[in-house]
Structure 1
């Protein structure tokens, strides 16, 4: 019954919003803002000619590349900062200064460093996701109860085994939280990142649709696609949190 409610209630809200959208457009007789049917028709045309899937694939590839780079750098950095107090005191102020800076603010420097191409949006996506991973991972190491570490050291456990069998499993739930936050932020900035991309990606498609005849049906359609993909990515990360090796840390 609860599962049915979890499906019916959100669906009812979505249907209500679509109906309200349609009524408002029809009542105002807007010549610019499209109806839901016009948005659906425009996106169907893009899907049929294959261009929609090309842009989705380009965006997902850039986000995946930047996010994987962030995981490969952010998680080890967070573990190092969490284990070595001197490193934490040295680097944490720097990361806390850089973390609040919007990735959009980096666009001029990114173009200067990497030019206009695939490297620039990947770098922006990397910046968007690496800091949540570093902060969350280091915070997770600091929450480990010291008695577990002391017990392992009393048994003569090496540093490598301690990291692999004690610290990493204990921090894994926090790492997943950082990954979830980082991936959400990375997908959030995909539009801004792809403003400087070549000729592909959902962000580019929004700008191109606006400039090519003010196709607001495609603009809104792509915005909806971005939201739906973001929901799917978040759902996937939530499912990872339910793995047996991770879910012990959460109440539900």
Structure 2
């Protein structure tokens, strides 16, 4: 009941937006811009012919590959930068210089290096999501309470035990924050990359629907599906943030 009550404002706003959309299209007499019902019919068409599942699968596969690579690289690098002062002093300026560059700006470089295919969007996803992971992991290690480290030193705890029992649990909440940010950026980037250099995925679905007969019902259906999947991915990361093993900073 509480969940339903909390969801009611959002559902109400969405219903109002749909109503305004429907009335606006009807009042304008537009023959190109679709009504909500036409968008629903377009989505059903994509589901029935299998097109939607194919494009969603392609996009999720690319995001999974690029994001996993970013986690494998970004988390250890962030721990190293947070733990070793020399590593932070050396690498942080480079990270801070590259981090503000728009992922879209990397598209020509990705195509030059990897050509047209899955490797280019995977690289773009990696380069866009690795920096939030590095930064947040570094912050997580930097903010460890020193008294825990001093206590470990007093008991002559081994380096492996220190990392397993103190450093990793302490940094984990910030790592999850970095993952949440990085995954959101990754989902945005894969759609943009698919519009430019690929022939599958939700980004390609949108641009192809626009080019193939102005099917704006499919364009908007694709946009809504992209937003819905993004919301679902963010919800999954929120669930991960709420796990006791994540919330408990020190094991």
Q: Give the TM-score category using the shorter length.
A: over 0.9
Kept in 1: contact 2:195–2:206 (CA 8 A): no
Q: For the residues of structure 2 that align with 1:236 and 1:94, how far apart are their CA atoms?
A: 31
Question: Which secondary structure does the structure 1 equivalent of 2:244 belong to?
Answer: coil
**Alignment partner, residue 239 of structure 1:** 239
1:41 is aligned to 41
Taking the aligned partners of 1:202 and 1:218, their CA distance within structure 2 comes to 11
Question: Does structure 2 retain, via aligned residues, the 8 Å contact 1:116–1:196?
Answer: no
Contact 1:137–1:171 at 8 Å: present in 2 too?
yes
How far does the alpha carbon of each residue in 1:72-116 deviate from its partner, in whole angstroms, 9 at most, with x for none?
A: 000000000000001001100100111110110011111100000
For 2:222 and 2:67, locate their aligned partners in 1 and report how far apart those are by CA, in whole Å. 22
Q: Which runs of 5+ in 1 are unaligned?
A: none
Contact kept in structure 2, 1:125 and 1:193, CA below 8 Å: no
SS of the aligned residue for 1:100 comes to coil
2:195 is matched with 195
Cα deviations by residue, 1:179-229 (Å, 9 ceiling, x for unpaired): 000001111112212134432100111111111111111111100000000
Residues 1-252 of structure 1: pairs in structure 2 closer than 5 A: 1-248=1-248
Secondary structure of the 2:245 match is coil
Q: Quick one: distance in 2 between partners of 1:206 and 1:95? A: 33
Moved over 6 A (4+): none
- How many Å separate the matches in 2 of 1:32 and 1:6? 36
Give the Cα separation in 2 of the matches to 1:102 and 1:217: 30
Number of aligned residues: 249
Q: Provide, for residues 37-85 of structure 1, a one-character-per-residue CA deviation record: whole Å limited to 9, x for no partner.
A: 1111111101001010000000000001100000000000000000000
Under a length normalisation based on structure 1, what TM-score does the superposition of the two structures give? 0.96
> SS in structure 2 opposite 1:150?
helix
SS in 1 for 2:187: helix
Report which stretch shifted further, 104-113 or 192-201. 192-201
How big is the alpha-carbon RMSD for the aligned residues of Structure 1 and Structure 2? 1.1
Q: Mind listing any 5+ residue stretches in structure 2 that lack a counterpart?
A: none
